[in-house]
Structure 1
């Protein structure tokens, strides 16, 4: 058997990201042997950009990656179970097979990005820097990308190959074709993020021209989320320690914010402080880390506004949509409270006979620069402060300190035009749906972060496996499209290992249970 493994895909073409609008193709570094490629600091910079570039793929973590996360949750789905041999439908129907080619592409893209980051890290150790601080900063950026991707990998597959060096030969590849315990992967993620926080001189927030690059606030916020996840998925004896570590880093992140209250940033995309407004994407103080797209560029534009838009809807894009757009489960629509400002901005009902369903309107670009070809400029937000604020509420609730949790929850509700938790819990309907503070926080995360690839991970974090099975099975199937929620069971907390990866080393690449 030929020993080539998908996660060691060759380094992608890098991009020159000297500013968030400067997506210019570079030569492919991998056309040159690695030992000869790195000679200057500029070579290292290009390799780091190559790692950022790999994130943009829809098969990795870019805007097109919602099939792997959002459709896996109870937020969105599909009304088409036939296209592409029905493979995309398997994700939302919980009928995913190890042979699924989209699953294989996702695995490949994730490990390609890891290898890009490792390629940059190898170069960092090869080149002599005039300033050691600059060396540490490049290393922090590459480690941030690696940590970000591995955090997705470990939450989707659990145990997985852990690769921290650039793999260039078949022998090196073969030596890494085995799954490592998920605890070790989390330890590596923590180490990578701590390096950037403690040893780099990266700014707390990148200036306008460098959006899309790592910063200390994003590192702290992400590390807080990592520890919060560890508290729920790793050994219970360290749960309190993990929660306190999560609190430490989330507080650190909040201490770096450049605004006072969350309501200083709005949902109005026409406002100067509009959170999702394309014109504000490089200056919005709520955004911690984003994947950058270039408005008007045929190669590096965003398509999310047009892709989500149903026929007959025009608020997303000038593109004349002909199909249904992204299908939103009525289960989510019904979760918005009556006076929630976010509902009208996030979803709309398309009453065209070819649609007759809700679609996503949260991401918009109707500018002439995007035009009827829909070359949009929406950046894909990976982490923002509302997420961090709600995680603080989650941490305090988990620590049993509800009085400290509630003000964080209330800050998010305030911006949405909703009453605080203490008042809301007196409402019979609200109390019947969210009888505990924990469920109220989960609800708030759902409607605040809808369609941002957070919901599936929230469900895995808030519930035990048995609780999640019960939760999913209790949903009204009439509010969930044509997917069969009864398919969901214990195995579905993880993806299967792609078949082509498993067969390389059936013992070391053991399959997840139930597949």
Structure 2
């Protein structure tokens, strides 16, 4: 059974409730515990740290709460009708900063809890190395929280000690101005440097699996520095920032690879379902650098299990959702089997009618399409059918019906990380862990930094490693579809393309386009599309292949498509996507400005705060 600590600790630490991984267990009343007892006792201090993990770990798609959420529907990965793609966002829509810098804003409530722990554990009587390891875990999550804020707004008020929560004087002291963006990033970097210094490369106990390691902190620092070096925050392309990102990601790769981490052997669902410890905090899956664990049971707080599989699988299987549906744009993006983009391969031609054929193997492990074999609910032979068929004669009044009781909006489903051994009984309580940082991302962060700096060896080494693992053909040049002798710009583009494929539906696409200031250039003026597979009309006005389709697909799905189906597309958006350039640095909500007179509004939103300083 895996851990997901659900300890509810009041900010004042006046009471504690303990839970185990299986069920809520009410312990003796700890209301009489004082601060000294909590922070001078390693057992109770560990429980506070476990609470910190529960409060701050991201869920599936990297969703840590707030306005943006996972961001999947904000790009070309999936469809969503929302103010960002419409271009109608107001300053009050993005309220993650809250209306206060103390107790009424969710991020700052969490930061206050983190600061309280850091201050009190350091003032306690535990041995210094123990205190530093405890504090470093809280410091990591403080860096994580500030990174979530700075990505949205640029500079925000920096609070690194717990502020008094009540009284007029306390409120006045809490009305802090926005730190510059440079200062905010530097605080995050300093915190993560501390984590890398004091966290162990490996935790000793199997129960420590999932705790932040030195390598995870180094990997997150690499992510932060790539963001700080990217065009959103570095419009003049200061090469020193890219060098810092390169150095940090090189260090992360070194620490991780020396401590049991690396690329998982195959690119399939087992990369997500092979979980837990291989000894201490070393994972069975070497790809899992930073994970959020989930259990296969549910407790009184409803926090142990995740709902990703049941929300993702088709409703026709008995699942609840089918809500994570890739667009036709994402389906088209995947390379061919030789690593070349569709339409540019001399070996594998691309045809919309057989769009699934001869693709990068990651296509079939990411996207489920009409007729594909998708083992589900213990059925290794299950085939997904999403086609439409005519229910009356062809003509102006012709109508069609989906084979599904609730048709996919895009004609496609996400199959990434779906455990085929789940049953209808266990589906609502799936325990599949979320991997927030995969080793593959660290390699891509290093490759991107190297590409900007012109370090081609690192770029080719890391990209070919990912493509080889994916199952792309090496080719006669051994470049797995990459172009030889690419320029710096071409290498950056190749890395971004690889990120789109490798990290599809992992909550990275929106942030990648945003930090590189490509949201408007990539998406504006476009509309997202679905694929429509229609059973050819024969005059029967029925689904005339329903009884033979599985056998026909088993014999030759290509033949079934060529003789029985017509593949077209349909537009999902009813308007052209219209990202505004002001969205790269969001404004501060009116309520926050009214609550804190020292906050400056962002430039482009009626204020003078320059997010690039």
- What TM-score does the superposition give when structure 2 sets the normalisation length? 0.68
On the 8 A contact 2:147/2:185 being kept in 1, the answer is yes
The answer to whether 1:305 aligns with 2:309 is yes
- Measured after TM superposition, the shift of residue 187 of structure 1 is 0.6
On the 8 A contact 2:114/2:138 being kept in 1, the answer is yes
**Residue equivalent to 1:253:** 252
On the 8 A contact 1:14/1:25 being kept in 2, the answer is no
Q: Which one is further off, 406-415 or 245-254?
A: 245-254
The answer to whether 1:165 aligns with 2:216 is no
Select the residue among 485, 497, 504 that pairs with 1:443.
497
SS at match of 2:291: strand
**Residue equivalent to 1:6:** none
Structure 1: state its 5+ residue gaps: 1-8, 82-88, 315-319
Residue 380 and residue 261 in structure 1: after superposition, are their counterparts in 2 closer, same or farther (change >3 A)? closer
Select the residue among 518, 523, 526 that pairs with 1:472.
523
- Measured after TM superposition, the shift of residue 230 of structure 1 is 1.6
- Measured after TM superposition, the shift of residue 283 of structure 1 is 1.9
The answer to whether 1:290 aligns with 2:291 is yes
**Residue equivalent to 1:381:** 435
The answer to whether 1:125 aligns with 2:122 is yes
**Alpha-carbon separation, structure 1, partners of 2:172 and 2:30:** 23
**Residue equivalent to 2:89:** 96
**Alpha-carbon separation, structure 1, partners of 2:28 and 2:245:** 40
**How large is the RMSD of aligned CA atoms in angstroms?**
3.8
Select the residue among 72, 75, 79 that pairs with 1:73.
75
Select the residue among 339, 352, 355 that pairs with 2:408.
355
- Measured after TM superposition, the shift of residue 38 of structure 1 is 3.9
- Measured after TM superposition, the shift of residue 376 of structure 1 is 0.9
- Measured after TM superposition, the shift of residue 113 of structure 1 is 2.6
On the 8 A contact 2:422/2:430 being kept in 1, the answer is no
Structure 2: state its 5+ residue gaps: 1-9, 278-282, 337-358, 370-384, 387-403, 531-570, 607-613
Matched residue pairs, number? 476
On the 8 A contact 2:262/2:286 being kept in 1, the answer is no
- Please give the per-residue CA displacement for 1:181-205, whole angstroms capped at 9, x wherever unaligned: 111111111111111222x152346
SS at match of 1:117: helix
Select the residue among 151, 155, 176 that pairs with 1:155.
151
Counterparts of 1:302-381 in structure 2, within 5 Å, are: 302-312=306-316, 314=317, 320-338=318-336, 339-349=359-369, 351=386, 352=404, 353-357=406-410, 358-367=412-421, 371-372=425-426, 374-381=428-435
**Residue equivalent to 1:239:** 238
Q: Which one is further off, 107-116 or 54-63?
A: 54-63
**Residue equivalent to 2:182:** 183
On the 8 A contact 1:118/1:164 being kept in 2, the answer is yes
- Measured after TM superposition, the shift of residue 371 of structure 1 is 2.6
SS at match of 2:428: coil
**Alpha-carbon separation, structure 2, partners of 1:377 and 1:484:** 39
SS at match of 1:302: coil
Compare the two structures and name the one with the higher helix fraction. Answer: 1
Query: Which of the pair has more CA radius of gyration?
Result: 2
On the 8 A contact 2:92/2:588 being kept in 1, the answer is no
Residue 94 and residue 75 in structure 1: after superposition, are their counterparts in 2 closer, same or farther (change >3 A)? farther
Q: Which one is further off, 288-297 or 49-58?
A: 49-58
On the 8 A contact 1:324/1:355 being kept in 2, the answer is yes
SS at match of 1:383: strand
4+ residue segments displaced more than 6 Å: 11-18, 20-33, 63-66, 104-107
On the 8 A contact 1:11/1:50 being kept in 2, the answer is no
Select the residue among 113, 116, 126 that pairs with 2:113.
116
**Alpha-carbon separation, structure 2, partners of 1:244 and 1:205:** 30
SS at match of 2:121: helix
**Alpha-carbon separation, structure 2, partners of 1:475 and 1:43:** 54
**Residue equivalent to 2:512:** 458
- Measured after TM superposition, the shift of residue 458 of structure 1 is 1.4
- Measured after TM superposition, the shift of residue 368 of structure 1 is 5.4
Q: Which one is further off, 343-352 or 237-246?
A: 237-246
Q: Which one is further off, 380-389 or 241-250?
A: 241-250
- Measured after TM superposition, the shift of residue 146 of structure 1 is 0.9
**Alpha-carbon separation, structure 1, partners of 2:413 and 2:572:** 13
On the 8 A contact 2:218/2:251 being kept in 1, the answer is yes
Residue 211 and residue 498 in structure 1: after superposition, are their counterparts in 2 closer, same or farther (change >3 A)? farther
- Please give the per-residue CA displacement for 1:193-250, whole angstroms capped at 9, x wherever unaligned: 111222x152346754212211000111111222222222445678322222222221
Residue 224 and residue 279 in structure 1: after superposition, are their counterparts in 2 closer, same or farther (change >3 A)? closer
SS at match of 1:71: helix
- Measured after TM superposition, the shift of residue 507 of structure 1 is 5.0
- Measured after TM superposition, the shift of residue 104 of structure 1 is 7.3
- Measured after TM superposition, the shift of residue 499 of structure 1 is 3.7
Residue 69 and residue 476 in structure 1: after superposition, are their counterparts in 2 closer, same or farther (change >3 A)? closer
**Residue equivalent to 1:47:** 48
**Residue equivalent to 2:340:** none
On the 8 A contact 1:54/1:109 being kept in 2, the answer is no
On the 8 A contact 2:46/2:134 being kept in 1, the answer is yes
Q: Which one is further off, 405-414 or 150-159?
A: 150-159
Select the residue among 588, 592, 595 that pairs with 1:504.
595
Residue 364 and residue 425 in structure 1: after superposition, are their counterparts in 2 closer, same or farther (change >3 A)? closer
SS at match of 2:595: coil
**Residue equivalent to 1:228:** 226
Residue 109 and residue 342 in structure 1: after superposition, are their counterparts in 2 closer, same or farther (change >3 A)? farther
**Residue equivalent to 2:604:** 513
- Measured after TM superposition, the shift of residue 484 of structure 1 is 4.4
- Measured after TM superposition, the shift of residue 509 of structure 1 is 4.7
The answer to whether 1:266 aligns with 2:266 is yes
**Alpha-carbon separation, structure 2, partners of 1:26 and 1:148:** 31
Residue 393 and residue 283 in structure 1: after superposition, are their counterparts in 2 closer, same or farther (change >3 A)? same
Q: Which one is further off, 298-307 or 321-330?
A: 321-330
Q: Which one is further off, 297-306 or 369-378?
A: 369-378
The answer to whether 1:192 aligns with 2:185 is no
Q: Which one is further off, 113-122 or 388-397?
A: 113-122
